[in-house]
Each structure stands twice: as structure tokens, then as C-alpha cells.
Amino acid sequence: MKLEGGRIPSSQLTILAIGFLLGSSIILGPGGAAENNAWLAVLFGLGEGLVFLSIYVQLQKNYPHKTLIEMNDIIYGPYLGKLFSICYIIFFLHTASLVVRSFGAFFGIILVSTPLSLLLISILLVCAYAVRNGIEVIARCSLLLVVLMIIVTIFNTALVAINMEPSNLLPFMDIPIQEFFKASHSISTLPFGQTIVFLMIVAFLNQQQEAGPSLLKAFLIFGLFFLIIALRNPMVMGPQIYLATYPSFAVVRSINIADILTRLDILIGVSFLGAGFLKITVLYYGAVLGIAQILNMRSYLPLVLPIGALILGVSLLQYDAYIYDINDALKYYPYYSLPFEFFLPLITLVAAKIRTYLQASPGGKV
Amino acid sequence: MKYLVFKKINFISALLIFSIFFCGGCWDRHELDSLAIVSGIALDKNNDGQISSTAQLIDPGQLKSSQEGNKGEGQAFWNVRGTGNTTFDMLRNCTHKSPGKLLVSHCQVVIFGEDLAKEGIKENLDILVRDFEFRDTLWLLVAEGKGSEVLETKTRLEKIPAFNISKMVRTQDFNSHAIGVNLHDFINLAISPATSAVVPIIRVDETNNEKFLNISGMAVFDRNLKLISKLNKEESRGLLWVIGKIKTGIIVVNSPQSNGTASLEILKASSKITPEIKENEVEIIVNIKAQSNLGDIQSIDNLLYPEIWNTLNRHQSAAIEHEVGLALDKARHLNADIFGFGEAIYKKYPREWKQIEPYWQEVFPTIDVKVQVETKLSMPSMAKDTIKLK
């Protein structure tokens, strides 16, 4: 009995990946410290992200129809492989809890007296329902949500066009070079590197050879959108962009077309609702499926709610206030996530290459 | 069995959809009748040295009564005063007198009293950017005298004084003698390392026992956000020419041939500030382009000759240069970079700016500013000659 019977076409994978990447970046805004040079940081971050992606795609090419967990088992053997898998699963769970928390924090600015746990439970319940229904359902609902998010982003950008002041992008590269690379690196780890979780999903792709191109497409389309946002936000906000907790949100709040089209805050709320849902669901699904595969379970359904409760608990307990989260996201996450997003997959890829080389060579026994 | 499951799902969906009406907003739901909607806020320093805030609440009942014909019976607003230690404290303390929690989402103007502005408004800005309810698009103004008096001045055409002020600020575009500065612009000016912030000045005038409001120019703040001076209408227009914020307006010039005046209506205007650094000398080149048409002329000039038009056009350039000169002189005198010259230098020469920045206050008044004005005058509209009495 297979854990996941669903199959998704490559076009849906692209859409799902775009939605996943848009996830928290839709409100957090790119490259905090880079401010008016964020657009360049986005390009550098995309470049670094593509390096990460090439590792993931290589891995997937070597082991088609296998998830990350199964790959680890094949490459490292059942015991060491499981250890590696557990590392990834902890990373997925933690990242999911971070996204859930940033989701709650965002809605918490308006819903001040509503308990945070209620906001988190309500989003997690929807995510749990999606995870329960399997990858086909997740992929299909991503289509609707991503189209909505893209339309909203284009709409917002068009409406603030009159507030844009291109000279706000000047002076070019006035920040210390190491600050700039910190910013671009943080973009590459959040969101680009987080696509490591897609190694749990591409196994269910109809045509395995399409995995690389469709993820690449997602990276480039999202990169374009991120670039537009990174150019738009400083142009509209000017120097005070350093002040805004959620720059994109502040930009949308400043829309004022003849006093008729104003107060469009809800547009950002809706798109973040969709994007956050997709991102949490994908990470949640990756963790649940991974644990089920490690434990050799016949179905992952019994795990859905307990893992959801775990994500909820972690996201509630890890910070007292969201300011710590922003601090961490900027300071530590780029380095904390690096082993899971880059080093472990790289080691796995090298190990896989050695293994295939040994198998192919006549003297190899393994 | 299948039928039963189907029924259950239907029931649950219906229950969920129905619950939207009761659960909207969770713990944070606000009913309209429990809120006091604020249209404008004035912050003042009282005679006893305490700072107080005046919030203008809208009375929705009075707003609709005008259609029933009993206009002027009651006023549609109510000004509530609150005192406290901080701006937020003052605003919240209004609830001792108001029937509901203040909702500032619809606040359109924040007016600083003159005395408070002279002491500095740095402390009063934070709440405006931090609180979720305040919008970036609200207008900031400085009152000549007390801000609360401005908020109390009823006008005939608008029922709510704050909304009236908000409309007045926008109407300034037709004269370009002042320009509305919203919170977003003001914060950018305030955090800039060089630029001095300006906001429009409003005052209460009185003729025949009827009070009315008047936007009389622009207030200039120093780098610590303390009110230091005022620009009159001409100086404000000069400032707007330099920063390229002229929308439209009337330029009055002497007519070319005979005695009399001509009014030129500005159709469009733009400007470009270009800093140049040559041999450690900063030079600012301000390039102003303007196009206008002849609005009216009180003379017997013969408009059929092109030379007349050229002369008129020269007069126009001279008038613009004169206004810009007034603004420049005032700014140099105040040592306040209201034009954003420092910002322009920073954008073009970021490295050199780092050396200039600490001395900007000393450098600014000595900077050589070259003003280049290019003007165009359009052809006449309905009349091609002047009215000649015979």
C-alpha cells in the first residue's frame, strides 16, 4: 500500500512552487537591510537559490519517484539514512511553525485582543484538512490561490504606480558590501532554499523528467514578481521603508486613487491568507509524509492532527513577541537553515554520485 | 448511508457560513454604535504648559438631518479634549468624555498648535506611524494660534470642519501657494538627514462676525522638528517651483506695451535639481520648465504681434525667478534646506555627501544655486485681441 496515491502534472507543480515561494515573502518584503538596493539583492539571492535548486534537481534525477526520505535510506542505508531524514523533518516542522507564527503575528496587529492560539488553530485546521486530502488536492487548490495572488500583486502595483518616485532607488549601493550580501543570502535561504521540501513532492510528479524545468520555471516567475515588489516598495515608501514592519502592507495602505480606491489593506490580508496556507500546507505535508515513511506506516492519516498540534505548540512557545521572530529571521535563519538547505543535500548528492560510481565500476560490490 | 454523510456535510457547511455573521472579528469585533469616529485631531500646548489633544467626533445623526430641511439646527461634530502625558494617552483619555472608543481610521487631518509646534512635534509623530488605525494619507497642518480653534471653525459648505480642512488642503493645488503634506511625505522629510520639513499653515480669520479658515502659507521646521518660521504665499510658490510640485496657479505680470497687468494660468510645470561638485565646491542647478496660457489681460496691447508674446513670456520667466529667489533667500536666512538639495547631493554623490553631511548646516547657506527657467506661453483661447474702448 502506497502512502500517497496521488499524481500531479508538472504545470501544477510549478504553480504550487510559486505559491510556496510567495508564502511569507508576500508580506515580509525582500532584503530588509538592503533597502533601496533590495532589487539587486533579489537577483543575487535568486542566483544563489538556483544553485540550491540544481542540487535538489540532480538528486531527484538520480532517484526518480523517490521522496527525500527514501533517497536517504537508499544512499546511506536504513539507519544513517533515517538520522538524516529526521534532521530534515525537524527542519520542515520548525519552518512550518515559523510561518504559522508570522501568519498569526500579521493578523495579530489588527486582532489585538483575539488570542494568538485561536488564529493559529484556525489556519492549521484548514492546512490539516488539505494535508489529509493528499497532494492532488493541495496542488489543485494552489492553482486558484496563486492566480488570485498574482492578480492582486499586479493590481496593487498598478495602483501605486502614481506614488512611485524612481529617485528613491538612488544612491546605488550605498550600503556596506557585507550587509548587501547578508541581505541577498537571506533571500536565497528564505524563500528559495526552503524548496528543499519539494523533494518530498516531486516524487508524485506524472513525468519525472519535468521536475527540474517546472521548478526552474517557478523560481524565475517568482523571481520576477519578487523583483517587482523589491523595486516597488522602496520607490513608494522612500527612506522610511526601514520603519515599516510589513513594507508591502504599508505600500498597499498608501493606495489612494481619487479617494475612491483606498483602504485596500484587505487585499494583502487575502493574498497572505492564501500564500501562508500553501506554504504551511506544503511544509506540514512534507513532515507528515516523511514521518510516515520513516515509521513504515501504511497511511499517514493518523499523524496529521498530532503533527499539527506539534506545529501549533512550537509556534506558540518559541517566541514571546513577534519582534524576536523578525530579529531571528534576519539574523540567524540564513545560517541556521543553511545545513538543511545546502550542506546536507550537497553531501547526499556527493554520496549518491560515489555510490552510483562504485556500482557502475566493475569492482564495486555495494 | 451515503445520503446521510452528504446531509451532515451540508449541515456543517451551513452552520459555518451562518457563523460568519456572529464570529466576524473574533474578540476584536467593534459594533458601529459603540465607536466614536474621529474626523480630525488637534494637538495644542495650553496656557498652563500642559499638552492636550482635541479629537473631533462625528455625530452621524446630525449628518443626515440636512435632507429633512432643518439645516443648521445642531452641529454634526463634537470636539472632545483629552489631556495626558503622551499623545496616545491624551487621545485615549478622551474616552472619559466620549460615548465610545475613538476610531481614528477616518481621521483626515492632524493639526499642531503654534505653541506646540515651536516646542517640537517629534514626540507626537510616533503614534501616527505605529498605530494601525492611522492612515499614511492624513494631512498634517500647523495652526496659527490654537489648533482646537481651527477644528471648531464651522463652515457653511461642509458639516465637519476636519473634512472641510482636508478638502481645503487639496484645493491648494489650484493656486500652488501651499501644498498638502501628508503623513507619509512628512515622515520622509523628518528622517532625511538634510531636508527641513514643511507643512501648510492654517489660521482662523474673521469678517463680519463670521469665522472662516484660511491656508496662509507654509510652516518651516528645523531638523529637530521645531517650528522656526513661516513662508508667505509667494515664498511657498517659490519653494514649489523648485521641488516641482506646482500643479496650476496664476502668475500676475506686467503687460508688455501699455500699463496694466496680465494673468497667466500655469498649465504644467516641472523641475529638476542637479547638484554638481567641482573642486570641492557644491553647485546646485535648478532647471524649471513651465507652460502657461494667457488668462486675462488688462491693457490695450496688440496681441496680434508675436513680440508681445515673447515679452510676456520673458515677464513670466522673470516672475518665476523672482518667486524662487524669495524662497531661496528665506531658506538661506533660516538655514533650512527646504528644497531637498542635500538629499539630491546624497543621491548623486553618496561618497562626497558623507563628508559634507556633518557640516551641512554651515554649507547650505553658502551654496551657489543656479536657477534656469524655461517657459512657454500658449496661444490665446477665446479672444485673440484685447478689449479696446473707443
Tens-level pLDDT at each residue, chain B (390 residues): 555 566 788 888 888 888 777 766 677 777 777 888 899 999 988 888 788 888 898 887 777 655 555 555 578 888 888 888 888 888 888 888 888 888 888 899 999 999 889 888 888 888 888 888 888 889 999 999 888 888 888 877 888 889 999 998 988 888 888 899 999 999 999 988 888 999 999 988 888 888 888 888 899 998 889 999 998 988 999 999 999 888 898 888 888 777 788 888 898 899 999 998 888 788 899 999 999 988 888 877 777 788 888 888 888 899 999 999 999 999 999 888 899 898 888 888 888 888 888 888 888 888 888 999 999 888 767 777 777 777
The nearest CA of chain A is from the CA of B88 a distance in Å of 16
Contact between residue A316 and residue A96 where contact means Cβ atoms under 8 Å apart: no
DSSP annotation of B137: T
Would you say how long chain B is, in residues? 390
Average pLDDT over residues A345-349: 91
Mean pLDDT of chain A: 86
Q: What angle do CA A80, A83, A88 make, to 5 degrees?
A: 130
Cis upstream peptide for A171 (omega within 30°): yes
Residue in A with minimal Cα distance to B137: A254
Query: What's residue B68's pLDDT?
Result: 54
Query: What's residue B198's pLDDT?
Result: 92
Residues of A within 8 A of B27 (CB-CB) are 111, 113-115
CATH class label, A10-356: mainly alpha
Residues of B within 8 A of A111 (CB-CB) are 25-28
pLDDT at A220 over 80: yes
Across the interface, which of B26, B129, B348 has its CB nearest the CB of A118?
B26
The 10s digit of each residue's pLDDT in A47-100 is: 999 999 999 999 888 888 888 998 899 888 888 999 999 999 999 998 998 888
Question: Which of A109, A123, A236, A240 should we substitute to test contact with B (largest number of B Cβ atoms within 10 Å)?
Answer: A240
pLDDT at A324 over 70: no
Q: In sequence order, what E strands does chain B have?
A: 35-45, 51-58, 77-83, 101-103, 109-112, 139-143, 181-182, 198-207, 210-221, 227-231, 249-254, 261-278, 281-297, 368-377
Q: Where residue A36 falls among pLDDT bands split at 50, 70, 90? A: confident
Residue B256's SS3 state is coil
Q: Is B20 on the interface with A (CB under 8 A)?
A: no
Query: What's residue B259's pLDDT?
Result: 78
Average pLDDT over residues A264-268: 82
Asked if A171 lies within 8 A of B350 by C-beta distance, the reply is: yes
Q: Write the DSSP string, B328-385.
A: HHHHHHHT--TT-HHHHHHHH-HHHHHHHGGGHHHHGGG-EEEEEEEEEEPPPSS-SS
Alpha helices, DSSP H, located in chain A:
10-28, 38-62, 68-76, 78-108, 116-133, 135-159, 177-189, 211-237, 247-253, 265-294, 301-317, 322-331, 333-336, 338, 344-360
Number of Cβ within 10 Å of residue A102's Cβ equals 22
The C-alpha atoms of residue A211 and residue A221 are separated, in whole angstroms, by 16
Asked if B27 lies within 8 A of A262 by C-beta distance, the reply is: no
Q: Is A174 on the interface with B (CB under 8 A)?
A: yes
pLDDT at A157 over 80: yes
The C-alpha atoms of residue A109 and residue A321 are separated, in whole angstroms, by 12
pLDDT at A285 over 80: yes
Asked if B132 lies within 8 A of A167 by C-beta distance, the reply is: no
Q: Is B270 on the interface with A (CB under 8 A)?
A: no
Asked if A111 lies within 8 A of B191 by C-beta distance, the reply is: no
The nearest CA of chain B is from the CA of A274 a distance in Å of 19
Q: Is B9 on the interface with A (CB under 8 A)?
A: no
Residues of B within 8 A of A109 (CB-CB) are 132
Query: What's residue B254's pLDDT?
Result: 85
Query: What's residue B382's pLDDT?
Result: 78
Q: Is B106 on the interface with A (CB under 8 A)?
A: no
Share of chain A above pLDDT 90, in %: 31
Closest CA to A191 of A2, A8, A30, A11: A30
Closest CA to B299 of B253, B237, B339: B253
Across the interface, which of B132, B137, B191 has its CB nearest the CB of A254?
B137
Asked if A253 lies within 8 A of B135 by C-beta distance, the reply is: yes
Q: Is A239 on the interface with B (CB under 8 A)?
A: yes
Q: Where residue A331 falls among pLDDT bands split at 50, 70, 90? A: confident
Residues of B within 8 A of A247 (CB-CB) are none
Asked if A112 lies within 8 A of B28 by C-beta distance, the reply is: yes
Give me the long-range contacts of B85-91 (CB less than 8 A, separation at least 24).
B86/B123, B86/B127, B87/B43, B87/B53, B87/B123, B87/B124, B87/B126, B87/B127, B88/B127, B88/B131, B90/B43, B90/B51, B90/B52, B90/B53, B91/B41, B91/B53, B91/B55, B91/B127
Cell for A107?
A: 493578523
The nearest CA of chain A is from the CA of B132 a distance in Å of 7
A312 CB-near residues (< 8 Å, 6+ apart)? A97, A100, A117, A120, A121, A124
* C-alpha distances out from residue B17 to B11, B14, B27, B104, Å: 10, 5, 18, 31
Q: What angle do CA A352, A357, A360 make, to 5 degrees?
A: 125
* C-alpha distances out from residue A118 to A106, A167, A306, A326, B25, Å: 14, 44, 17, 21, 12
Residues of A within 8 A of B273 (CB-CB) are none
Helix axis angle, A301-317 relative to A78-108, nearest 10°? 60
The nearest CA of chain A is from the CA of B192 a distance in Å of 7
Query: Between chain A and chain B, how many beta carbons pairs sit less than 8 Å apart?
Result: 47
pLDDT at A173 over 80: no
Query: What's residue A366's pLDDT?
Result: 46
Q: What angle do CA A159, A161, A162 make, to 5 degrees?
A: 100
pLDDT at A102 over 90: no
pLDDT at A362 over 70: no
The nearest CA of chain B is from the CA of A289 a distance in Å of 27
Residues of B within 8 A of A243 (CB-CB) are 129, 187, 191
The C-alpha atoms of residue A187 and residue A184 are separated, in whole angstroms, by 5
Residues of B within 8 A of A256 (CB-CB) are 137
Number of Cβ within 10 Å of residue B372's Cβ equals 14
Residues of B within 8 A of A170 (CB-CB) are 347-348
Q: Write the DSSP string, B346-359.
A: HHH-HHHHHHHGGG
Query: What's residue A327's pLDDT?
Result: 63
- Highest average pLDDT, of A281-285, A294-298, B160-164, B305-309, comes from A281-285
Residues of B within 8 A of A246 (CB-CB) are none
Q: Is B25 on the interface with A (CB under 8 A)?
A: yes
Contact between residue B26 and residue A117 where contact means Cβ atoms under 8 Å apart: no
